[in-house]
Amino acid sequence: MTAKIIDGKAVAAEVRAEVAAVVAQRVEAGKSRPGLATVLVGENPASQVYVRMKQKACAEAGIESFGYNLPEDTSQEDLEKLVRELNADERVNGILVQLPLPKHLDEERVLAAISLDKDVDGFHPVNIGRLAQKGRKPQFIPCTPAGCMLLLRKNLDSLEGVNAVVLGRSNIVGMPVALLLVEANATVTICHSRTKNLPDVVRQADVLVAAVGRPEMVRGDWIKPGAVVIDVGVNRIDDPSAKNGTRLVGDVAYDEAVEVAGAITPVPGGVGPMTIAMLLQNTLKAAELSDKQ
């Protein structure tokens, strides 16, 4: 068996094209252009790359982008003050504070300061709380988990009753995607560093979401034949044969898994492109919500 390759780039391109078309219609109808504010504290190279990619994607979709680059030693008070100013800025529909923040800053306090109506990252405690409650709807769903769910829905007729295993329990991916799978009526197991007989648990999965941050941890013989594998991991490893001496791999040993799974996301080109696409979709949604206020 050779797995179907789930092309995240293609699905993300569809989402981005849909967002761009609706934004163009909004502007033509005389409505405001959606606006996204990105806040970057410090000089983390990976964060700088991510923010530039988000700003470029905004430009391509017709969304206005407001960038705020703050020094590493920015105080908690000054960062929260900026967030409050952006909350009050009518040009800004979405606020994205790039994580991780420098260690001296209280991440939870910063995220809680973002207006619920502008929380396009979906990390506000109220949004996560609503996600965890049956019958409640969050204003926004976190972007990477939302992207994972869209890829699953495009490759499965239904998630009802399937055995889903989520490997990893981070606030950013693992826990939100598990909650979304529960909402979709899957039977969900969350695995972590203290899970006993981990390979055996993973082998029960009709759907596996790997988001643990350990390169190629999941081996081919961990995977149930025909399972759908969503690999969220992005890990850089040494590779002397590569041009720059390194290459990106996921949390799943792709070359092994592709021979067993029914469908699988590659790294890169799987979940990664979906995150920015869903951010654009959330920013458009925020603009549409502001129209009704």
Catalytic residue, candidates 98, 139, 231, 251? 98
Report the residue count for the chain: 293
Residue 98 annotated in active site: yes
Q: What residues contact 272, with CB distance under 8 A and at least 6 apart?
A: 8, 234
Residue 251 annotated in active site: no
Q: Is the omega angle on the peptide bond into residue 100 within 30 degrees of 0, that is, cis?
A: yes
What is the rounded distance in angstroms from the CA atom of residue 233 to the CA atom of residue 214? 7
Nearest to 27 by CA among 67, 57, 61, 66: 61
Binding-site residues for NADP(+) sit at 168-170, 234
Contact indicator for 250, 235 with CB cutoff of 8 Å: yes
**Euclidean distance between the first and final Cα of the chain, in Å?**
53
Q: How many CB atoms lie within 10 A of CB 195?
A: 15
Nearest to 5 by CA among 279, 255, 235, 286: 255
Catalytic residue, candidates 54, 118, 224, 285? 54
Q: Is the omega angle on the peptide bond into residue 45 within 30 degrees of 0, that is, cis?
A: no
Amino acid at 27: V
What is the rounded distance in angstroms from the CA atom of residue 241 to the CA atom of residue 165? 34
What is the rounded distance in angstroms from the CA atom of residue 152 to the CA atom of residue 184? 11
What is the rounded distance in angstroms from the CA atom of residue 118 to the CA atom of residue 235? 30
Binding-site residues sit at 168-170, 234
CA angle 276, 175, 37 (to 5 degrees): 30
Catalytic residue, candidates 119, 121, 206, 231? 121
Beta strands in 114-243 (DSSP E): 163-167, 187-191, 207-210, 228-231, 235-238
Q: Active-site positions? A: 54, 98, 121
